[in-house]
Structure 1
Amino acid sequence: MKKKLLLMLVLLMSGCVNQEEPESDPAYCSFDSDECLANSDEYETFINESDVFIEITMQEAIDMFENQESCILYFGFPDCPWCIEALPIMEEAAKENDKNIYYVQTRDEERNLIYTDEEKTAILSYVGQFEDTDDEGNVALFVPLVVVVEDGEALSGHVGTIEGHDAHERQMNEDEQDQLKGIYVEMFSK
């Protein structure tokens, strides 16, 4: 437990190289932007050492919808400071509800998108109702995105951390962390 707490502190203390505020809602990162930078080594270690997260590809997530499976999906990437802050809270909520979370990494180590336009269109057809629009008015993919799927239908979803939190400016305080955990617990307990 001490190891995980130390890791969480390191993750939370990781700074952003680019301090420009995103033009969209500051409560989440865009899959399609280069605005989010943080330390990815600790993130990958956390994902790999957690007994909650199961890494899958974007196509495998799409297949889960098409095969009418039930699961919890998390879309994110290591350089997203919102993802870094949400990850341990998400894990804690999942453990409390005895759930696994399927993790879909959306960017590689060089920060390149690792899904195709076709995959993006397909996944948006299932989760688009939880997303926002980009500057051109198109539904965009933002992270962290957590979606509860039952029998191939997205029942609930949450994008970002909490309203008013900008990970480029500050870390979530304890009340905000509790609020985010409450959102996840409510989603995962259904």
Structure 2
Amino acid sequence: MNKKVVAIILGIIILVGAIFGLWYNKRSSEQPKTPSTNVSDSAKFKSEYPRVAANNRFVYASDKEILDIFDNGSGVVFLGFPQCPWCQHLSEHVDRAARTEGVDKIYYLNIRDARASNNEVYQKLVKKLEPYLEKDKNGNPRIFVPDVSIVKNGKIIGRYKEESTGDDNITPDKYWTNERIERTLSQLRGFMSQLK
């Protein structure tokens, strides 16, 4: 009788343990996976902009951080979005210039949704950049991307300006000749060197 009771108790313990194990595994597999917070900004940017170096200088900035730089801060501000092929190409050159000049951060803001909705942040950015902006088909100032500003103590000391080709249908691959890349790097480095 004693052996029978011990066997039953052991059986119940094993059964309860198995049920608990199955329940725990099911529960943990149903919980949402949280994204890793260990992914650096440079790694995240590289995943969105594959042309840049793995050790790129891009950091994701909030709307407020970008507006603060334009108000009274200093730094390189890159406005764009990954779906823009011109942004993809220019990001590589901005990063190279920053690394050469010892600029440790390029403040990046994806403005695609803000521009599409013409939200308050986009309107504030347009107001700050208005003297430099081209007009859209309705005559309103518009931030065409990529948009790169070099800001020192809240004053814009330089802006990337794309060279005119006279060809509205030119692709980024055709536009970026070795000569244009060198001129762009020189232009950007000249502005960035003033941040020191």
Q: Normalising by the residue count of structure 2, what TM-score does the alignment of the two structures yield?
A: 0.64
Instruction: Measure how far apart 1:69 and its partner are.
Output: 1.1
1:173 to 155, 171, 177: 177
Whichever residue aligns with residue 103 of structure 1, its letter is Y
Task: Name the Cα RMSD after superposition.
Answer: 2.7
2:151 matched residue in structure 1:
149
- 1:39-58 to structure 2, matched below 5 A, reads 42-44=47-49, 49-58=54-63
Cα distance in 2 for partners of 1:92, 1:152 equals: 24
2:122 to 108, 120, 123: 120
Cα distance in 2 for partners of 1:131, 1:50 equals: 31
Whichever residue aligns with residue 62 of structure 1, its letter is L
Structure possessing the higher relative contact order (Cα contacts under 8 Å, 6 or more residues apart): 1
Cα distance in 2 for partners of 1:172, 1:116 equals: 30
Deviations 1:60-83 (A, max 9, x none): 2112233x1111101011011111
The DSSP-based 3-state class of the residue aligned with 1:142 is coil
Runs (5+) with no aligned partner, structure 2: 1-44
Moved over 3 A (4+): 40-51, 112-116
Instruction: Measure how far apart 1:116 and its partner are.
Output: 4.9
1:162 matched residue in structure 2:
163
CA contact (8 A) 1:71 1:101 kept: yes
Are 1:105 and 2:101 counterparts? no
Instruction: Measure how far apart 1:48 and its partner are.
Output: 9.3
- 1:1-190 to structure 2, matched below 5 A, reads 42-44=47-49, 49-66=54-71, 68-99=72-103, 100-107=105-112, 113=115, 116-159=118-161, 161-164=162-165, 166-167=170-171, 170-190=174-194
Runs (5+) with no aligned partner, structure 1: 1-39
Q: How many residue pairs get matched?
A: 146
Judged with a 3 Å threshold, the aligned counterparts in structure 2 of structure 1 residues 117 and 171 are, in CA distance, closer, same or farther, namely same
The DSSP-based 3-state class of the residue aligned with 2:83 is coil
175-184 or 89-98, which deviates more = 175-184
The DSSP-based 3-state class of the residue aligned with 2:160 is strand
